[in-house]
Amino acid sequence: MRIGILGTGHLAAYLVRGAQGSGYSFLLSPRGAAIAADLAERFGCEVAASNQEVVDSCQHVLVCLPAATGLDDLRGLRFRAGQSVLSAMAGAGLEDLRAAVAPAEGFVGMMPGYANAYSAGPSLLHPASDDWREFLSALGPVHQIAAPEEYQTAAVFGAMSGATVFLIRHLAEWYARHGLDPATARQLVAETLRGNAEVFLQSPEGMEAISAGVTTPGGITEQLVGHLHRTGALTAWDDALDAVLARMYPGR
């Protein structure tokens, strides 16, 4: 399948990189000329002369345009019946997208980006689409979500994913400041979080049982988690996620 990409920025680069070896070819918009040229050189992608050429040349179009202006950009293009358009623009609603790309069919998705370059990042897809599910499966696990409000809630994970990168960096820097080799600190923190993620993915136990299983009464985990609770560090995540949800989908 040939996929046209509108908006050749970092997200597009991660997705193209992760899809290598899966049989897809890409026609890139000239927006983001330096990244487009790099992808053409490294992965054999084609670069179109304009966004309209991308739309005219491809049945499947992936939208990686900036969320602030992307819908306006799409309204200025001519789509046709039979095309399938997947938007990865944060906060772009399905109905607004479909109105912008009519008479093409529209879908919305969310993915972390960088992790997809390693085929390790989960993607959301709304509503279901066999073609787009197959493509996204080359980039990591895919969650097809039917209910609009469920998708909106789940889509906040795009921000959460980025925030966990800063969390990992922050924790690694703490260890480095206290004398641990920075490379070892980075590896230790990343391996610890990856290991605990595997517990939640593979263990049949509920989350409460898992939490209890790693907490010894009076131990150091209880001490650390208790301090985070008392200082509001954990509930601050709730407040921040609420704010992102309200920004992406006003009224939620």
Pairing of strands 105-110, 123-126: antiparallel
Using CB atoms within 10 Å of the CB of residue 20, give its burial: 0 to 12 exposed, 13 to 18 middle, 19+ buried: middle
- Please give the Cα distance from 29 to 107 (Å, whole number): 19
Residue ranges, the chain, pLDDT below 50: none
Q: Are 87 and 106 in contact (CB under 8 A)?
A: yes
Cβ proximity of 139 and 156 under 8 Å: no
In the CATH hierarchy, which top-level class contains the domain 2-146? Answer: alpha beta
CB of 48 within 8 A of CB of 28?
yes
Query: What is the per-residue pLDDT for 224?
Result: 98
**What confidence tens digit (pLDDT) does each residue in 83-100 have?**
999 999 998 999 999 999
> Domain ranges in the chain?
2-146, 158-248
Give the per-residue pLDDT at 252. 87
Identify the three-state secondary structure at position 128. Answer: coil
Percent of the residues in the chain that have a pLDDT greater than 90, as a whole number? 98
Candidate CATH numbers 1.10.3730.10, 3.30.450.20, 1.10.600.10, 3.30.1360.170; the one for domain 158-248: 1.10.3730.10
